[in-house]
Amino acid sequence: MTATSAQQWPPKPPRWVSDVGWRTVVGGLLAGGIIHILATFAAPVLGSGNAFAKLRATLPENAMVVVPPVAPGKQILPYVPPDAMYAMCRFDLTAGPVNVTALIADTGWVLSMHTPQGDNFYVMPRQLLRRDEVSFTIVPRSPTEHGRSPKIAGPTDSQVVSPTVEGLIVVRAPLKGIAWQAETEAQLKRSGCTQVKG
Amino acid sequence: MKLLANLIVNVMVFLALAFGGGLATAWYMIEAGSPLSTRSFGPWTAWTSAGRPEADPYTRAHVFRNGLLPLSTTLEVAFRAKLDSTGSRLTSSCDYTLQLPDMAPAWWNLAVFDGQGRLISNPAERYAFSSSSAARQPDGRTVISVARDARPGNWLPSGRASRIVLVLTVQDAATAATIHDEGIMRSLPEIKRERCR
């Protein structure tokens, strides 16, 4: 008898399983679906570890800052390419437009603009530019505009519309080697981000 | 008494399905991704709409929760690998070789991180190679060794972290187009395990 029980396959489910009604299972799955959707949409709202929140404390408003070289324990953000230097500006358009100037010197150099949610709404890579130096003004979006796709820069852009009042400008400058660090840093320091006066 | 026990069982099952199932599947879709929001090419996986304003909710939650600041995948794609080409977990106790084809004029960067996206401390203070810093073979290929101890050529130290993650960032319109139009990616390297300690 014992030997017969040991060989029984598939094993008999516990008795409580037969007490579970089909309405409970269907209701549980439906509620699970709702919780899945709520959790997915709530994650960006409830989380505090996003890139903008991390950088907000360290970056002054409307000023371009060359970030110290990336090293263990001194990373600005996770998974960023480490053999590059970065200049960053936290812009705020509450008091008006912001002027941006930057040097985009070589292949791999790129200027990007991000919303606090991490959306990259504008990007300017070196290979699309005819000149090294770029200059433009960021203005807030009017309530009637509904641009969605990220815009890749044209060489003559003089005004960029930001979908949010606050955001980040990042200039990434890949390093060819440690010998180029001082030169790259000097080039990055030519970038600027200032509130338009008057 | 039997009715009460029955009620308790049903409530417990309902809560397990609702909260356990709902939260666990949301966590999986946000952290690991699925074919709805990612594309895989061998060991490499990319979030197809990372950085884009019209990104799906899973991608937006992934970017936000992990503190990432990606460029739009219409310009640049970050491929992440946690496994080698045989499907084994990448670890710093093994040595790996990657052969990157000539991707000119694209700009690329290969970096090694620990499982949380942090750089791994190493005496050589080297954490990445890029198309502008790596030495190339005469035929244009780039061979990179990921290993704990020094290797000749392009040696990328994996330090003494347990699990490692390789991130290959490619800034190239053709690569970006491939991940969106279901095309075949030809230029991503195999991650070949050489030996383990």
Structure confidence by residue, pLDDT tens digits, A52-95: 988 988 999 999 999 988 889 888 899 999 989 999 999 999 88
The residue of A119, A161, A169 whose CB has the most chain B CBs within 10 angstroms, and thus the best one to mutate to test that interface, is: A119
- Encoding tokens for residue B25? 């599947």
Q: Are residues B10 and B46 in the same domain?
A: no
Distances (CA, A) of A41 to A28, B33, B56, B65, B131: 20, 15, 10, 12, 38
| B44: CATH | 2.60.120.600
Q: Give residue A1's pLDDT.
A: 46
Residue A183 lies in a domain: yes
- Does A26 contact chain B (CB < 8 Å)? no
Percentage of chain B exceeding pLDDT 90: 51
Structural domain containing residue B94: 35-196
Mutate which: A37, A40, A113, vs B, most B CBs within 10 A? A40
Render pLDDT for B98-120 as a digit per residue (tens, 0 to 9). Answer: 999 888 888 899 999 998 899 99
Per-residue CA distances from A30 to A21, A41, B9, B10 (Å):
15, 17, 18, 15
Do B61 and B107 fall into the same domain?
A: yes
Q: ipTM of the predicted structure?
A: 0.84
A3 close to B (CB below 8 A): no
When divided into structural domains, chain A yields a total of 1
Give yes or no: residues B108 and B172 share one domain.
Answer: yes
**What is the domain extent for residue A84?**
51-195
Residues within 8 A of B (CB atoms), A 90-109 only: 106-108
The model's pLDDT over A96-125, given as tens digits with 9 standing for 90+, comes to: 899 999 998 888 899 999 999 889 999 988
DSSP alpha helix (H) spans, chain B:
2-15, 22-31, 57-65, 173-180
CATH classification of the domain holding A142: 2.60.40
Best of A29, A80, A114, A129 to disrupt the B interface by mutation (most B CBs within 10 Å)?
A80
d(Cα A87, Cα A164) in Å, to the nearest integer? 20
Q: Are residues B17 and B59 in the same domain?
A: no
Please identify among residues 68-87 of chain A the ones whose CB lies closer than 8 Å to any CB of chain B: 70-73, 75, 77-84
Q: Count of domains in chain B?
A: 2
Q: What's the confidence (pLDDT) of residue B43?
A: 92
One domain, residues B18 and B109: no
B43 and B21 part of one domain? no
Chain A residues touching residue B105 (CB < 8 angstroms): 107, 127
Indicate whether B158 and B145 sit together in one domain: yes
pLDDT tier for residue A7 given thresholds of 50, 70 and 90: low
Put simply, the answer to whether A50 touches B65 (Cβ < 8 Å) is yes
A133-189: per-residue pLDDT in tens?
889 999 988 655 544 555 555 545 688 999 999 999 999 999 888 888 899 999 999
